[in-house]
Structure formats: C-alpha cells, structure tokens
Amino acid sequence: MESKQSRRIFLGHCVKLGGACCGLMAWHRHGTAGPALHDKIDQEYEPIVLKPFSYCGIPCLQACPLYGATLKNDLKLKKLIYEKWEWKKKFGIEYDPEKVFCYSCKPGDKPLKVGMDACAVRSCGLANGVESCIQCGNLAACDKEYWKTWPEQFAAVKKMQARYRVQPGAAIKEIKTKS
C-alpha cells in the first residue's frame, strides 16, 4: 500500500516538474532575448520580429497580464491588476472594468490604456519612427525614468538588441537625444 502511494506522490511530483520545465522553456523562448548570435555561432535563431513587441520590448501577449486579461475580458484579473498596480493612486480613477484595459502601446484602432499617452518610451518610439526600442542605436545610453524603474526589462531589451543587430535586415536607427 505504501509503495503505491509513494509512486503516486512521485509521479505527481514528476508531472509538476515537467510542467514547470515546459513553462520555463516556453517563457525563455518568448520572454527573453537569449545569448547573442556571435556567442553561439552554431545555434540557429529565429529572427526577431518587432511587431508583437511593445516600444519598451515587452512581448505583450506572453508577458503582460493586463493585456491577457483584456483579450479574455477577465474581470477578476482586471480588478487584481487595478489594485496591484495602484491605479487609483497613480491615475485617480475608481475601478471600472471598462477603464482597466490594455491593447498594448500600439493599439491600432483600439483605445490607449489610462496613462499610456504619458509614457516617455512610447513617445520617443513614435517620434523617432521605430517599432521598438530594440531598433534604437542609442538604447544603451538611454536614461529615461522607465528604465530606472524596470532595470531587468532594460537589461533584457539590450540583450535582445544585441541579438537583433546581427540578424539579416536589422534596422538600427541612430536617434539623437535631446539635451
């Protein structure tokens, strides 16, 4: 009896571990830049397509919980995000599921989320005609407050840019910073 229960527990742990490994591999493939091409010459990489990335380099579909909640119209998750991201304090709005949404910072014909029009990274990308900061030749020297608030994202975007630079057809644009 004890061996059947032990085996059941063991198999349960294996399933959980396998699921976690699959999740990490999927997140790594879509959520991080990985090593630069020149670091692993013998490894093939899919080219980085910039369209699904926000201006700051976030792959919204894989990484942004509000974007996912908006697409699924998940009202409970929207409420949690509203509270966690302190929208009342930041934007002075009461919770309303119609106001808590995000269609990315490149929404096309959809509305912009609250506060998006004040994003310095988005404004810079729009003004300089880049699809993402990954294309900015001045990225490493960028001192926008966003990058100071999210240093891990800044490091990930710089890493992704290193990989993007060596892919055929990469379009890096030298952007002059305003002094």
Joined together, the tokens standing for residue 94 give: 């009461």
In the predicted model, is pLDDT for residue 168 greater than 70? yes
pLDDT at position 42 is: 42
pLDDT at position 169 is: 86
Joined together, the tokens standing for residue 80 give: 């949690």
* Tally of CB atoms within 10 A around 48: 19
Per the CB < 8 A criterion, the answer to whether 57 and 132 are in contact is yes
Q: Which of 26-40, 105-119, 128-142 has the lowest mean pLDDT?
A: 26-40
Q: How far apart are CA 178 and CA 87, in angstroms?
A: 30
Percent of residues, the chain, with pLDDT higher than 90:
58
Q: How far apart are CA 86 and CA 92, in angstroms?
A: 9
* 3-state SS, residue 13: helix
Q: Give the tens place of pLDDT for each residue, 98-122.
A: 999 999 999 989 999 999 989 999 9
